[in-house]
């Protein structure tokens, strides 16, 4: 593997993708399929090849707050846990190299809403499901799921039913009125529980975007991978055309200028993408001025509409020894509703076969070495937060303010989640497994007591999204048009979770890869149209 000094011998490319994460790896891989274009992929973190702690999916929890984590603190929360941190991966593959690889196709209603409610023309379930098929191979889909792909780069598999406590939990869900179900069948699961599908290879290697899209093409002649290079600012000329990006190498601290002949695609994620745009003069004008950044485009929606899946936790001591092996320790999902008439579930649980005391221990709650937990999370939180600059220095972490539970809907759903978790675990099927409830504890019963517990101890499912959303061309609060182009700047697009008008009901990682696939299609279409225009012009002359 080359050093940053050796890497940047070439500085001009047709396309530059900033961020080697879930979407960025897909964009770069697909664009480089055209042998006539030169593509560079820039990643601030290291290469993941040869790093077992990254590649082994069952070690993912070791990565939280590690050297492979940007580890963003959040601003003080008026209604939430101010100790909480947003893990953002600092390595090739981005959060797909850092997460538990829970693999979901989003409900059709989620994607259709982007088009119907927000004016993101072309973003609908028909489009998305075609791209889901293209990006995945799914040997476990079975004959009842003919919609699945069989030759895509991202390998999906069913989690095997090896955990006896987990199987008892699924029995308990049935006893509580939540039937067993399969996921990724093409139908929206409003009330159901089952083992997840995950993007993992048969040998236990995570099928991250890096493993799936970049490892196979790393030696492609027209593809250049540049790691350990941090984007400082986009290069934008006097005509508001993006011509490239300034990067700083981690080894020597030197700024280099990289040039894009055609387009730059920013795929730095829902926290770092708005930061980079603002550092480049694209964002809320007054905020930019306050931080000494010259305003190129007054785009008030940059850094707005930050969304997430807030997560609570309820933990039990186990009466029997818990499993000592797992694909990734969080193998079961439960969906249900807290009110009638919903077309999508408003409550989701992840089941963990390990203790989860990240925020409870500091509050004095007991812990265990042998336990299981359920983590209720709000699938469609209504609270909205912001990402802002801390200063004009690219090295400073941004100000991340999720504003958790500022909409009372979210706390209502979370309180209902704690009560539903107790109802499930109280069923006969869990009698041989469920010992003492460690937190919040059996004495915490009233809404007020549960609210206080959640406020002090809640976490996130690490799903920030929506901070540079796409929308109708005339929507001033949507910084992007439906083709992911940054309004007011030419030759610049965004492709990552920040573009989502609303966060998906489910874990969004596969959808973020789908966004990368869609972006590559849009760029290819623009290139084809430009080539045709030049051809017609030459013929006419």
Contact by Cβ (8 Å): 22, 509: yes
Q: Would you state the pLDDT for residue 433? A: 98
Q: How far is CA 68 from CA 46, 93, 97, 99, 286, in A?
A: 9, 11, 10, 12, 34
User: pLDDT tens across 485-494, in order?
Assistant: 999 999 999 9
> Which whole number is the average pLDDT over 395-405?
98
Residue range of the domain that includes 229: 10-532
pLDDT band at 2 (very low <50, low <70, confident <90, very high): very low
Please state the φ and ψ torsions of residue 135, each to the nearest 5 degrees: -85, -15
* Pairing between β-strand 399-401 and β-strand 386-388 as defined by DSSP bridges: antiparallel
Q: Give domain status of residue 540, yes or no.
A: no
For residue 485, give the DSSP letter.
Answer: B
Q: Give domain status of residue 1, yes or no.
A: no
Strand partners, 362: none
pTM for the structure as a whole:
0.96
Please state the φ and ψ torsions of residue 146, each to the nearest 5 degrees: -70, -10
Number of helical H runs and strand E runs in the chain: 12, 24
Q: Would you state the pLDDT for residue 146? A: 47
User: pLDDT tens across 231-289, in order?
Assistant: 999 999 999 999 999 999 976 789 999 999 999 999 999 999 999 999 999 999 999 99
Q: Would you state the pLDDT for residue 538? A: 60
CA angle 390, 233, 257 (to 5 degrees): 150
Contact by Cβ (8 Å): 321, 374: no
Q: Which residues are documented as binding site for FAD?
A: 91
Strand partners, 332: 195, 351
Q: Which residues are documented as binding site?
A: 91
Contact by Cβ (8 Å): 250, 394: no
Q: Give domain status of residue 3, yes or no.
A: no
Q: Give domain status of residue 214, yes or no.
A: yes
Q: Would you state the pLDDT for residue 145? A: 55
- Total number of domains constituting the chain: 1
Whether 144 has a pLDDT exceeding 80, the answer reads: no
Q: Give domain status of residue 5, yes or no.
A: no
For residue 290, give the DSSP letter.
Answer: H
User: pLDDT tens across 445-456, in order?
Assistant: 999 999 999 999
Q: Give domain status of residue 85, yes or no.
A: yes
User: pLDDT tens across 345-386, in order?
Assistant: 999 999 999 999 999 999 999 999 999 999 999 999 999 999
| Mean per-residue pLDDT of the chain | 95
Active site residues: 463
Q: Give domain status of residue 151, yes or no.
A: yes
CATH code, 178: 3.50.50.60
Q: Give domain status of residue 4, yes or no.
A: no
């Amino acid at each position: 593997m080359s050093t940053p000094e050796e890497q940047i011998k070439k500085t001009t490319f047709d396309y530059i993708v900033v961020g080697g994460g879930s979407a960025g790896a897909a964009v770069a891989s697909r664009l480089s399929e055209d042998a006539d274009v030169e593509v560079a992929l820039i990643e601030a973190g290291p290469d993941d090849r040869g790093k077992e702690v990254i590649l082994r999916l069952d070690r993912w929890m070791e990565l939280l707050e590690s050297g492979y984590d940007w580890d963003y603190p959040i601003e003080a929360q008026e209604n939430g846990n101010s100790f909480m941190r947003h893990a953002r991966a600092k390595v090739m593959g981005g959060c797909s190299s850092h997460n538990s690889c829970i693999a979901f196709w989003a409900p059709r209603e989620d994607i259709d809403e982007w088009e119907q409610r927000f004016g993101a023309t072309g973003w609908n379930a028909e489009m998305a499901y075609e791209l889901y098929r293209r990006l995945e191979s799914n040997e476990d889909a079975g004959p009842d799921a003919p919609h699945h792909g069989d030759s895509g780069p991202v390998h999906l598999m069913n989690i095997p039913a090896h955990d006896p406590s987990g199987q008892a939990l699924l029995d308990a869900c049935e006893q509580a009125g939540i039937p067993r179900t399969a996921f990724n069948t093409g139908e929206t699961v409003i009330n159901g529980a089952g083992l997840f599908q995950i993007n993992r290879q048969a040998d236990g290697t995570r099928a991250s975007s890096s493993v799936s899209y970049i490892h196979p093409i790393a030696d492609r002649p027209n593809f250049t991978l540049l790691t350990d290079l941090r984007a400082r600012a986009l290069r934008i000329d006097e005509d508001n055309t993006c011509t490239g990006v300034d990067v700083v190498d981690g080894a020597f601290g030197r700024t280099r200028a990289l040039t894009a002949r055609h387009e730059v695609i920013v795929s730095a994620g829902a926290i770092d993408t708005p930061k980079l745009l603002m550092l480049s003069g694209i964002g809320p004008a007054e905020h930019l001025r306050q931080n000494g950044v010259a305003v190129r485009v007054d785009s008030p929606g940059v850094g707005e509409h930050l969304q997430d899946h807030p997560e609570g936790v309820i933990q039990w001591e186990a009466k029997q020894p818990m499993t000592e092996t797992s694909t990734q320790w969080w193998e079961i999902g439960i969906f249900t509703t807290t009110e009638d008439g919903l077309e999508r579930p408003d409550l989701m649980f992840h089941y963990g076969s390990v203790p989860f005391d990240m925020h409870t221990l500091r509050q004095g709650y007991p812990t265990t070495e042998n336990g299981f937990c359920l983590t209720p999370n709000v699938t469609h939180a209504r609270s909205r937060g912001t990402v802002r600059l801390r200063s004009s220095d690219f090295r400073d972490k941004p100000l991340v303010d999720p504003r958790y539970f500022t909409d009372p809907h979210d706390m209502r759903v979370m309180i209902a989640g704690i009560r539903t978790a107790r109802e499930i675990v109280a069923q006969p099927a869990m009698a041989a497994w469920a010992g003492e409830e460690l937190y919040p504890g059996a004495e915490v019963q009233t809404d007020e007591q549960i609210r206080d517990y959640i406020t002090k101890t809640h976490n996130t499912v690490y799903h920030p999204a929506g901070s540079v959303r796409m929308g109708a061309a005339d929507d001033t609060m949507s910084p992007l048009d439906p083709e992911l182009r940054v309004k007011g700047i030419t030759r610049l697009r965004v492709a990552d979770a920040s573009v989502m008008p609303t966060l998906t009901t489910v874990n969004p990682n596969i959808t973020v890869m789908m966004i990368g696939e869609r972006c590559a299609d849009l760029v290819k279409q623009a290139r084809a149209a430009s080539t045709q225009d030049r051809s017609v012009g030459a013929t006419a002359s």
